[in-house]
Structure 1
């Protein structure tokens, strides 16, 4: 085992966590343990200050190394099909591949982001009508509706662009001599 992985495992032990715990658990454990030794809460002694330094160093190590976790909500149909999805990682977008037939609680690592974990939550809004819709679900639903409207507008624009392209190719791009020859052939028939 390398010294780096030993330091990471030691930092997890200092905070009383299992190796591989995500950063949210690290932050929570750090806050709970630091209250017991912080000078604002207890009388500062040499022992409490050294314990505080150890906790701070463990938190510093795990701040860089502990995996981050984010949750995404998918419908059963999206989970059944799988495919590529984008996910927001603290302001950055990343791609991830969702395997077909993914279940709730499945963990996916985004492409090129080994420090992040994405937990899949499969929710059926039609079957789960007793649960109140939270702000995250509402925002996801509104975002999906907005993307659908954009896709429909893009399809309509592409359809109109096809008509304009055909008009351009037939009448505008052609030279006046070619257009005149077409007119003569059309009226001669």
Structure 2
């Protein structure tokens, strides 16, 4: 075992976690353990300060090395077929290959991003009906509703523009004399 992997395993042991725990659990374990030795919470002794330094070093190592996790929701058809997908990781895009016949709970590592783990969740939107809707599904549904509202507003604006252009052609563009002549002909009839 290399010294880097030994340091990572030791950092997990210091925080009392299983190796390969994701960064969210590292962060919560670090916060819980730091409260027990931080000078703001307990009396600062040489022992507590050395334990604090060990915790800080373990967190520093795992901040770089601990895997990050992301959930990706697929429809049953997408999970059955598999293929390449693009995911957002901390503001940048990454590609990943979803194997065919992927089941819920499968873990996939994006290409060139060894720190990230993408957990696949297979959900049928027609069967779920939003009962177990997560933030990603809710955001996608709200975005779709916004797009539909914008399309409807655009269609309405185009209809109004057609009425406005017809009004312009009939009343504004023609001269006052032509409008008067049209009025006289209409009232004489």
Please, what TM-score do these two structures have when normalized by structure 1?
Answer: 0.72
Evaluate the alpha carbon distance shift between residue 4 and residue 110 of structure 1 in structure 2; reply closer, same or farther with a 3 A threshold: same
Task: Please name the residue that 2:151 is paired with.
Answer: none
Matches within 5 A, 1:57-76: 57-76=57-76
Residue correspondences, number: 148
Specify every segment of 5 or more residues in structure 2 that has no aligned partner in the other structure, as ranges: 148-189
Q: Distance in 2 between matches of 1:140 and 1:67?
A: 26
Matches within 5 A, 1:21-170: 21-129=21-129, 131-141=131-141
The alpha carbon displacement at 1:18 in A equals 1.0
Q: Distance in 1 between matches of 2:71 and 2:131?
A: 18
Specify every segment of 5 or more residues in structure 1 that has no aligned partner in the other structure, as ranges: 148-189
The alpha carbon displacement at 1:21 in A equals 1.1
Output one character per residue of 1:129-152: Cα deviation in whole Å (capped at 9) or x when no partner: 3615343212234557899xxxxx
The alpha carbon displacement at 1:29 in A equals 0.8
Q: Distance in 2 between matches of 1:144 and 1:96?
A: 24
Deviates more, 1:71-80 or 1:132-141: 132-141
**SS of the counterpart of 1:40?**
coil
Please, what TM-score do these two structures have when normalized by structure 2?
Answer: 0.72
- For the aligned residue pairs, the C-alpha RMSD in angstroms reads 2.1
Evaluate the alpha carbon distance shift between residue 70 and residue 11 of structure 1 in structure 2; reply closer, same or farther with a 3 A threshold: same
Q: Distance in 1 between matches of 2:53 and 2:60?
A: 10
Q: Distance in 2 between matches of 1:93 and 1:111?
A: 11
